[in-house]
């Protein structure tokens, strides 16, 4: 059983469209990160959220942490081919030692077609 469930698993859209990726859990997280990973490379950190209800924006990307700190979403506005990649959510479980392991979701593979 995955502690972090991401949906959808695969998403193929046209350039200029908007999209939202979801990351859900029945567990509470102290913090949650979003990463983007390209084939054959390691994940690259996009954002960290720690406060329930927190919203962070990074250019065309908007990240939200749920009020109960059990879920998060990533919204991309006007997607571009350069946004193509595997989007991973990961978090530190509440109750685990701070700064220890990250628990990852399975990822959402996004393809933006020109």
Partner 1 sequence: DTGVSQNPRHKITKRGQNVTFRCDPISEHNRLYWYRQTLGQGPEFLTYFQNEAQLEKSRLLSDRFSAERPKGSFSTLEIQRTEQGDSAMYLCASSFFSLAGGLYNEQFFGPGTRLTVL
Among 19, 22, 50, 73, binds partner 1 (CB under 8 A): 50
Nearer Cβ to partner 1, position 14 or 43?
Answer: 43
The set of residues, in sequence order, having a beta carbon less than 8 Å from that of 53 and lying 6+ positions away, is: 64, 65, 66, 67
Nearer Cβ to partner 1, position 1 or 14?
Answer: 1
Minimum distance, C-beta of residue 16 to partner 1, in the bound complex (Å): 28
Please give the Cα distance from 24 to 18 (Å, whole number). 20
CB atoms within 10 A of CB 84: 17
Minimum distance, C-beta of residue 69 to partner 1, in the bound complex (Å): 10
Adjacent-strand bridge partners of 56: 63
Based on the shown chain and the rule CB under 8 A, indicate whether residue 24 belongs to the binding site for partner 1: no
Based on the shown chain and the rule CB under 8 A, indicate whether residue 101 belongs to the binding site for partner 1: yes
- Sites of contact with partner 1 (CB under 8 A): 4, 30-31, 33, 35, 40-45, 48, 50, 88, 90, 92, 97-107
């Amino acid at each position: 059983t995955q502690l972090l469930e991401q949906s959808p698993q695969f998403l193929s859209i046209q350039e200029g469209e908007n999209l939202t990726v979801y990351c859900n859990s029945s567990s509470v997280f102290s913090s949650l990160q979003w990463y983007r990973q390209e084939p054959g490379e390691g994940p690259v950190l996009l954002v960290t959220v720690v406060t329930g209800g927190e919203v962070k924006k990074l250019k065309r990307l908007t990240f939200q942490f749920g009020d109960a700190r059990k879920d998060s979403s990533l919204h991309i506005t006007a997607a571009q081919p350069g946004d193509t990649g595997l989007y991973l959510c990961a978090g530190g479980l509440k109750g685990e030692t701070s700064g220890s392991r990250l628990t990852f979701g399975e990822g959402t593979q996004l393809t933006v077609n020109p």
